[in-house]
């Protein structure tokens, strides 16, 4: 049976899982870690680094190291999200050709789907190593509150990475799947509180007879661990500036070190009351004087710094409960997901709000990937024990006369869903109807996310109101929007997948896929070369030993063999230097035969 892997493409960390023998299992990466940092970097020599490797060199290569790319994916140039990142991120964000944001690394522009594809690719390789075969299909998770543009961009990332994303599911829903998997008799209403690296989601679900029905979902795509870190960074930087009149955030390397220290302090404060932050030589003044940062941070101070963030999350919980038409008493269990939920203050706030201790049944870092793998298997398997009924997080609608937003599909509608709407011409002899599609919850269309606009042309010339166009809006099970327009008179159809201008064009996608394929070939070749070089260095030592042992023997035969071996050693060393695949292979073969020759002479 075909395998579908589940990938939690997180803001700070990613995780991959697969269902094996009926049990979902997280696949550890080469380093043995179950999660991989969602960090991509291009080294000075132009090498692509991903995950732990990228994280390790971030301090010295801050300008060309991308983290938290998920916060930018599917966002438009000039949107608050992009502006915020431009201020706080050390990497360079530039304007792309489709009014999208792109990241400049070593003189090359990368679109956000490309950056995400590199991470997906890495997770795919992690799975491939474990499964022994290349996984073709994946279920990828996104924050529940992602809009259509962000989902589309994530799908594009999958395409570039050569993965068939069979389904995009929401992170809290995935966590609920992991929670409810294998519990056949479960009949409960649960809340999933998902505070990850970059986003906050809350979903309310009813689980019964294997059906996972999402009642409501709410969230904030700009509330996550990164924001908690930022508060610490800000606090440290301001304290430092007060003392030394230097803004550490202006210096790339200092900022990166601050970032690392802030994250570490935050994690430590989950278990300790106070932590020490020590960053010697954090800054060197023009005068040559070195400055050090040495301070303590208490849990109380930290909680004070982030009090409003914690409160924001609680407020969103209230909205979700209300949307579900429930009271907090109706919730049977609260599931905590995401690394940030380890923070005691967060757990307390959840307990206060829901009036019960949150469940510790799922692993906060792994539940989402596990749930994704469960959904993947549920799709391709023939038994239909599990069914996910998810909702669309935002209302879908169109701009009407005067710039108003007319909702056609309400938020929290179960997907897949569709809605038909009849449009009539408003002017005499009007031959076109322009339809502008938005997603969001504001009554003013322009304040919502523009998904796209299209024109239905070729209408019959007639008095106003005489021509009718039937437009069907469709939201797929992935949460992706498509629109189909039909001229009721002529039956002419016009189908578009709504993509805002910031999406990638077919051609761009095509090029990116090709580029990625080239990279993969190069990567595989590199691995092969590395293996051969390791083998060669061992052979070199062995043959050298044999030569020393046999040298000085009188036999011409032995002398010849030693000469031959010496030559092979010489060539081998040359090949080690040159790193040419063909040379390495040839030298390796020569060494191998020299070795067996020498060995036969010893016997």
The answer to whether residue 323 forms part of the interface with other proteins (CB under 8 A) is no
Residues 6+ apart with CB under 8 A from 206: 188, 189, 212, 213, 215
478 sits near other proteins (criterion: CB under 8 A): no
Taking CB under 8 A as the rule, does residue 209 contact other proteins? yes
Residue 52 is a binding residue for other proteins (CB under 8 A): no
**Contact call for residue 427 and other proteins (CB under 8 A):** no
Q: Nearer Cβ to other proteins, position 477 or 576?
A: 477
Rule CB under 8 A: is residue 208 a binding residue for other proteins?
A: yes
Residues 159-198 contacting other proteins, CB under 8 A: 166
∠ CA 472-475-479, rounded to 5°: 165
Q: Which of 380, 306, 448 is nearest to 135 (CA)?
A: 380
Closest C-alpha among 152, 61, 63 to residue 113 = 152
| Nearest distance in Å: CB 469, other proteins | 12
Confirm whether 8 is a catalytic residue.
yes
Note the Cα 580 to chain centre separation in Å: 35
Q: Is 419 in the site for other proteins (CB under 8 A)?
A: yes
Report the nearest approach of other proteins to the CB of residue 167 (Å).
Answer: 8
CB closer to other proteins, 216 vs 349 = 216
271 Cβ neighbours under 8 A, 6+ residues apart: none
Sign of CA dihedral 523, 528, 531, 533: negative
Q: Tell me the β-bridge partners of 291.
A: 283
> Minimal distance in Å, beta carbon 326 to other proteins?
11
Q: Which of 409, 512, 543, 594 binds other proteins (CB under 8 A)?
A: 409
**Minimum CB distance to other proteins smaller for 187 or for 563:** 187
246 binds other proteins (CB under 8 A): no
CA 230 vs CA 263, 327, 345, 485: distances in Å:
9, 34, 17, 46
- Answer whether 233's CB lies under 8 Å from 203's CB: no
CB of 491 to other proteins, least distance (A): 11
User: How many of the chain's residues bind other proteins (CB under 8 A)?
Assistant: 29
Q: How far is the CB of 232 from other proteins (least distance, A)?
A: 43
Q: What is the C-alpha separation between 321 and 218, in angstroms, rounded?
A: 9
Q: Tell me: does residue 477 bind other proteins (CB under 8 A).
A: yes
Q: b/e map of 541-562 (b: 16 or more CB within 10 Å)?
A: eebeebbeebeeeeeeebeebb
Is residue 420 involved in binding other proteins (CB under 8 A)? yes
- The whole-angstrom separation of Cα 349 and Cα 367 is 21
Rounded Cα distance between 214 and 375, Å, is: 15
Cβ proximity to other proteins: between 478 and 508 the closer is: 478
> Is 407 a binder of other proteins (CB under 8 A)?
no
384 contacts other proteins (rule: CB under 8 A): yes
Among 120, 378, 398, 498, binds other proteins (CB under 8 A): 378
d(CA 31, CA 51): 10
Q: Which of 104, 211, 466, 601 touches other proteins by CB under 8 A?
A: 211
Residue 232, CA atoms < 13 Å, CB-side half-sphere: 29
308 is catalytic: no
Give the shortest CB-420-to-other proteins separation in angstroms: 6
Query: What are the C-alpha distances in Å from 418 to residues 252, 468, 486, 494, 497?
Result: 48, 19, 15, 16, 14
> What is d(CA 599, CA 227) in angstroms, rounded to the nearest whole number?
64
The answer to the question of residue 416 lying near other proteins (CB under 8 A) is: yes
Structure tokens at 587: 């030298």
Asked if 380 interacts with other proteins (CB under 8 A), we say yes
Query: CA separation (Å) from 41 to 12, 124, 257, 258?
Result: 14, 18, 16, 19
How many helices (H) and strands (E) are present in the chain, helices listed first?
14, 27
When asked if residue 417 is in the footprint of other proteins (CB under 8 A), the reply is yes
For other proteins, the closer CB: 64 or 167: 167
Contact 62, 88 (CB under 8 A): no
Residue closer to other proteins, measured from CB, 382 or 506: 382
Report which of 457, 423, 427 is spatially closest to residue 437, judged by C-alpha positions: 423
- Judged by CB, which is closer to other proteins: 206, or 366? 206
Contacting other proteins (CB under 8 A), which of 109, 128, 213, 251? 213
Which of 13-21, 360-368, 372-380, 519-527 is the region at the interface with other proteins (rule: CB under 8 A)?
372-380
Q: How far is the CB of 487 from other proteins (least distance, A)?
A: 16
Determine the interface stretch with other proteins among 81-89, 410-418, 489-497, 588-596 (rule: CB under 8 A).
410-418
Residues paired with residue 359 on neighbouring β-strands, in sequence order: 335
Residue 232 lies near other proteins (rule: CB under 8 A): no
Catalytic-residue membership of 194: yes
Question: Which one of the listed residues 194, 201, 365, 478 is annotated catalytic?
Answer: 194
* Nearest partner of 116 among 149, 81, 71, 84, judged by Cα: 71
Listed residue (60, 26, 56, 152) closest to 497, CA to CA: 152
- Catalytic residue among 114, 148, 156, 171, which? 171
92 is catalytic: no
Instruction: Give the interface segment with other proteins, choosing from 18-26, 143-151, 259-267, 381-389 (CB under 8 A).
Output: 381-389
Minimal distance in Å, beta carbon 212 to other proteins? 10
Which of 188, 253, 326, 389: binder of other proteins (CB under 8 A)? 389
Question: What positions carry a catalytic annotation?
Answer: 8, 70, 171, 194
Binding residues for other proteins, rule: CB under 8 A, are 166, 206, 208-211, 213, 325, 378-380, 382-384, 387-389, 408-409, 413-414, 416-422, 477
């Amino acid at each position: 049976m075909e395998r579908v892997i589940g990938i939690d493409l997180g803001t700070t960390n990613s995780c991959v899982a697969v269902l094996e023998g009926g049990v979902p299992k997280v696949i550890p990466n080469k380093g043995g870690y179950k999660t991989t940092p969602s960090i991509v970097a291009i080294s000075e020599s132009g090498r692509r680094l991903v995950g732990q490797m990228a994280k390790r060199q971030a301090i010295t290569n801050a300008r060309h190291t991308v983290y938290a790319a998920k916060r930018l994916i599917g966002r438009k140039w000039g949107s608050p999200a992009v502006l915020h990142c431009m201020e706080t991120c050390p990497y360079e964000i530039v304007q792309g050709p489709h009014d999208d944001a792109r990241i400049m690394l070593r003189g090359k522009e990368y679109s956000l789907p490309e950056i995400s594809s590199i991470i997906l690719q890495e997770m795919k390789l992690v799975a491939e190593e474990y499964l022994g075969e290349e996984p073709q299909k994946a279920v990828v998770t996104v924050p529940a509150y992602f809009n259509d543009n962000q989902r589309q961009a994530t799908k594009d990332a999958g395409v570039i990475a050569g993965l068939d994303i069979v389904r995009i599911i929401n992170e809290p829903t995935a966590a609920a799947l992991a929670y409810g998997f294998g519990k056949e008799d479960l009949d409960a209403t649960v809340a999933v509180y998902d505070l990850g690296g970059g986003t906050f989601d809350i979903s309310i679900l009813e689980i019964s007879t294997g059906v996972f029905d999402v009642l409501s979902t709410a969230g904030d795509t700009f509330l996550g661990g990164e924001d908690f870190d930022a508060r610490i960074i800000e606090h440290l930087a301001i304290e430092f500036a007060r003392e030394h009149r230097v803004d550490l955030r202006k210096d790339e390397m200092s900022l990166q070190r601050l970032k690392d220290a802030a994250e570490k302090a935050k994690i430590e404060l989950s278990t300790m009351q106070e932590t020490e932050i020590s960053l010697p030589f954090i800054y060197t003044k023009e005068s040559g004087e070195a400055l050090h940062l040495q301070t303590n941070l208490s849990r109380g101070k930290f909680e004070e710094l982030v009090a409003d963030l914690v409160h924001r999350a609680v407020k969103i919980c209230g909205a979700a409960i209300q949307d579900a038409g429930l009271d907090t008493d109706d919730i049977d269990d609260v599931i905590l997901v995401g690394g940030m939920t380890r923070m005691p203050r967060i757990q307390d706030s959840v307990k206060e709000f829901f009036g019960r201790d949150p469940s510790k049944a799922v692993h906060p870092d792994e539940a989402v990937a596990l749930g994704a793998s469960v959904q993947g298997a549920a799709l391709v398997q023939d038994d239909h024990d599990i069914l996910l009924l998810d909702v669309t997080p935002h209302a879908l609608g169109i701009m009407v006369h005067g710039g108003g937003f007319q909702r056609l599909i309400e938020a929290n509608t179960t997907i897949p869903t569709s809605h038909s709407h009849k449009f009539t011409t408003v002017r005499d002899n009007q031959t076109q109807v322009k339809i502008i599609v938005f997603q969001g919850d504001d009554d003013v269309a322009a304040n919502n996310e523009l998904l796209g606009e299209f024109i239905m042309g070729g209408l019959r010339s007639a008095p106003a109101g005489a021509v009718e166009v039937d437009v069907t809006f469709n939201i797929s099970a992935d949460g992706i929007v498509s629109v189909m327009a039909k001229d009721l008179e002529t039956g002419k159809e016009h189908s578009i997948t709504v993509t805002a201008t910031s999406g990638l064009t077919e051609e761009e996608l095509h090029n990116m896929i090709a580029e990625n394929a080239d990279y993969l070939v190069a990567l595989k070749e590199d691995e092969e070369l590395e293996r051969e070089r390791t083998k060669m260095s061992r052979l070199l030592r062995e043959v050298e030993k044999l030569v020393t042992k046999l040298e000085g023997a009188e036999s011409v035969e032995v002398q010849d063999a030693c000469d031959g071996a010496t030559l092979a050693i010489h060539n081998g060393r040359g090949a080690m230097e040159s790193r040419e695949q063909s040379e390495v292979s040839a030298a390796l073969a020569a060494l191998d035969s020299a070795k067996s020759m020498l060995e036969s002479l010893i016997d």
